Amino acid sequence: MVHRVALITGGTRGIGLGIARCLAREGYALALNGVRPAEAVAGVLHELREQGVPVEYFPADISLTEERRRLVEAVRERFGQLNLLVNNAGVAPQVRADILEATEESFERLLRINLQAPYFLTQAVARWMIEQKRADVHFPACVVFITSVSATVASVNRGDYCISKAGLSMAAQLWAVRLAEFGISVYEVRPGIIRTDMTAPVQERYDRLIAEGLTLQPRWGTPEDVGKAVAMLARGDLLYSTGAIIVVDGGLTVARL
């Protein structure tokens, strides 16, 4: 059986793992990227392989140009094709600081990891996808950017994160425009408050806000909520919607009086 292949950055934990689980159920072979050593993710790889699909782990720091290049080459060598890129990897500020006090070092770190890395990884992957489309016009190819409601919802104690996600949202639009002529769809999936290790430090605060009505659906989102949205896009359910923003936030950003 020939599987479609998905490369998921940050694919062994949190939202990325939720996406990987959903894509495995869709029959995708998985190329998972992260920065942890291989032995630290062995259990996750075993779990996903039990879905009956090929799963490989490619450790690489995609904020570094050379490591991005090696990642794409390694995926190409192992699988020979790539149908789906999910730009999921991202980090929160190491310190949540008011923008009156925030440092340039934190700003530069978040922009490099959360924006520059996926922007240029997409460039490298897009060139390969175009090559595949030219060889076979029917070759299915798609790019998904995982952003955040912080792309439009201002949080003054993590301005660097908000700006990185706003920039990533524009990157998704830019790549949708540029790749349309090749028949490569590009989407943005915009999660809200998702229960992961990244949000664990603020769990008590968001428990209270959700109980007070922050979201229309009174619960935390799960990584699988996001994964199901990506799976829908990967199946081609929205083929006439390139450039679309899929909001997975339980109604958090619905304007209300």
Phi and psi at residue 63, in whole multiples of 5°?
-75, -5
Instruction: Write the CA distances from 160 to 9, 157, 237, integer angstroms.
Output: 20, 9, 34
Known active-site residue 119: no
Q: Which of 57, 161, 187, 240 is catalytic?
A: 161
3-state SS string for the chain: CCCCEEEEECCCCHHHHHHHHHHHHCCCEEEEEECCCHHHHHHHHHHHHCCCCCEEEEECCCCCHHHHHHHHHHHHHHHCCCCEEEECCCCCCCCCCCCCCCCHHHHHHHHHHHHHHHHHHHHHHHHHHHHHHHHCCCCCCEEEEECCHHHCCCCCCCHHHHHHHHHHHHHHHHHHHHHHHHCCEEEEEEECCECCCCCHHHHHHHHHHHHCCCCCCCCCECHHHHHHHHHHHHHCCCCCCCCCEEEECCCCCCCCC
Q: Give bridge partners of residue 144 from the DSSP assignment.
A: 86, 187
Beta strand ranges found along 139-214 (DSSP E)? 142-146, 185-191
Catalytic residue list: 161
